[in-house]
Structure 1
């Protein structure tokens, strides 16, 4: 009788363990992505100088607005020790020959070098407009602290006034940065430690208030609408220019996109499917590109017609959901919108 009881207990325990394993091994259920929606982005007051950048996640119909002036530097959370400037506030920077932050001031650095001017040689004082981390003004932070120089940065205020700071950044262990910073003429140096967090592309700091939240987690946004230093052509040569109404995709976390223009210059069909016609059967026509500025400034004109009606975009998010996206209005060229509050529409083409 005792033997039967023992065997029964073993059998029950094994059954429970097997059930537990099955529960643990069960696949995580998919979260159904949005079928599509219409959004009016909350750029806030300011018109073409709207105060907010707006991050958009198509699969959840979410937008997240943050003041463009809320941060100064972003610290990459990936393998590289890379630092970005706040290009949405036209921040510029130049390296000095010194590793002693206290020694750098206006007597040995000409701040005129950092002021915005529409000249080709000025592009080098701004971060890469293509978003390539290895082409930014601040070089990758070296493991040897003595290899990291002081930079002088111009961080214009919301009113457009130039404000000059000096910064020096070193690595702190294998997963963090140490930032030293002060106004250019100050001798009292502040220090901050910034630890990488895998869930984000960057961690951000403000010279005025320290660590701040800017971007959502990298899995939770597809593109950002913002103002930024960008480039335009002058006599065939690229020069820096501050653009409003730019769209940058989350290229650092697997978001890809393509532009489809379906009308020719005379407004007639060029044979490509319209927004209404585009469905899963047309995906073979798309070559998804990893560039962050496939949309960029290509979706609109600050003059007539405002938001272009001859094109739309196809976006694949980090999970593989594919959406078609068109812009309805931006508040320019008589398109019926309000500047700073662009209107867009999107529709799910294929779920992952």
Structure 2
């Protein structure tokens, strides 16, 4: 026997007449405690059977590169005074003020060059004098003949060129340091193992101090300060991959008179020792999906030290804060022939101060 409980306190027996029960009571064959669960079950089945089945939304896969990807922030400071050497294997190797040095000399046995600190906007001038006493602060300088180095850092791109048997040897050189200091310098001798130089404390000082700068092949350069003498700046050349620093960029023949426009920038240079880098100035790329195939198709590894450079960031003139283009991807091939990809995603610290580059990097697959 089966039946349906009605809203008017009656029960319709299938195949029989409707019967009514007083006091909202049902006969024992249909006790309420049995009917309610039955109704709930039926209604639930009806609701569930009418609902549209949903396909579970798949959780997106984590980018394949995330497992080995690393993040770093280097501290240049709000005034950009700090120079930071960085290794992809070991992180920050060394930090020091970029103004520590004025000039440097290469340590190669045959490729002898002098470079000035472009971050300080230093310049060098070649005079015809051979004695310090011939030059003073009253000496007339032709401003068009100041020399400076190209930011690529390649051999023979220094302002003075290769010094081997050069006519520059023995001449009095004027080195302008920053905007308000100048010193006299004579390169007396260049050999496979050392440089011999003489300096004074200013243009009106004729007291020479001689220094022998011995070449150490474990380093790329010998650094020199006119105030402090020989200074240690970079780590051993096998210990680092890139350096965050202040240097000079050149807009060639940009000025109305056809001269170069010299511009001080803060950016990234790669290690000149057995290191190369690549970037794409025409296209943007997604860091996470960038592969060796992307490198082969769109980039070319170069020895120019300033490939990464400085224009991965730009200033927002409304906020005076830097904006970073995270779609600019770079590749560095280190001394072990390992390829690393990197991109920048920030330039401020938690306090909102500029001068704190943030970047992601990992081995290129």
1:104-123 alignment, distance < 5 Å = 104-110=135-141, 113=143
For structure 2, the 5+ residue unaligned runs are 1-66
Asked if 1:92 corresponds to 2:123, the answer is yes
With over 3 angstroms needed to count, the CA separation of the structure-2 counterparts of 1:238 and 1:306, relative to structure 1, is: farther
| Contact 2:223-2:233 at 8 Å conserved across structures | yes
Match of 1:180 among 198, 205, 210: 198
What is the CA distance between 1:260 and its match in structure 2? Answer: 4.0
Alignment match of 1:327 (pick from 344, 352, 362): 344
Displacement of 1:316 in angstroms is 0.8
| Aligned-residue offset at 1:172 | 5.1
Indicate if the aligned counterparts of 2:251 and 2:263 stay in contact, CA closer than 8 A.
no
Pair 1:51 & 2:72 matched = no
Q: Name the residue aligned to 1:138.
A: 160
Contact 1:196–1:203, Cα closer than 8 Å, also in 2: yes
Structure 1 residues 318, 35: CA separation in 2 closer, same or farther (over 3 Å shift)?
A: farther
Q: Give the count of matched residue pairs.
A: 290
SS in 2 for 1:59: coil
2:275·2:334 contact (CA, 8 Å) conserved in 1? yes
In the TM superposition, what whole-angstrom CA distance separates every residue of 1:9-36 from its partner, at most 9, and x where no partner exists? xxxxxxxxxxxxxxxxxxxxxxxxx954
The equivalent residue for 2:104 is 74
Equivalent pair of 2:154/2:305 in contact (CA under 8 Å)? no
Distance 1:184 1:195 in 2: 26
- Give TM-score scaled by structure 2 length: 0.71
1:39 and 1:91 map into 2 onto residues whose CA distance is 31
What is the alpha-carbon distance in structure 2 between the residues aligned to residue 35 and residue 238 of structure 1? 47
Aligned to 2:214: 195
Q: Following TM superposition, by how much is the alpha carbon of 1:87 offset from its aligned partner in structure 2, in angstroms?
A: 0.9
Task: Report the Cα offset of residue 102 of structure 1.
Answer: 2.7
The alignment status of 1:254 with 2:285, answered yes or no, reads no
Structure 1 position 66, deviation (Å)? 1.6
- Secondary structure in 2 matching 1:88: helix
Contact preservation (8 Å) 1:227, 1:242: no
- Does the C-alpha gap of structure 1 residues 51 and 81 become closer, same or farther in structure 2, counting only changes over 3 Å? same
Match of 1:340 in 2: 355
| Contact kept? 2:333, 2:339, Cα under 8 Å | yes
Q: Which residue of 2 aligns with 1:64?
A: 94
Q: Which has the larger radius of gyration?
A: 2
Residues 324 and 347 in structure 1, CA contact (< 8 A), matched pair in contact too:
yes
Which residue does the alignment assign to 2:45?
Answer: none
Is the CA contact 2:182–2:203 (under 8 Å) kept in the aligned structure 1? yes
When structure 1 is superposed on structure 2, of 254-263 and 315-324 the one drifting more is 254-263
CA-based RMSD of the aligned residues comes to 2.9
Q: Which runs of 5+ in 1 are unaligned?
A: 1-33, 114-120, 265-272
**Structure 1's 281 and 242: CA in aligned 2 closer, same or farther, altered over 3 A?**
closer
Report deviation, 1:60.
1.9
Q: Distance in 2 between matches of 1:152 and 1:87?
A: 15
Report the equivalent of 2:28.
none
Distance in 2 (CA, whole Å) between partners of 1:93 and 1:338 is 34
Q: SS of 2:245's equivalent?
A: strand
| Aligned-residue offset at 1:205 | 1.2
1:65 aligns to what SS in structure 2? Answer: strand
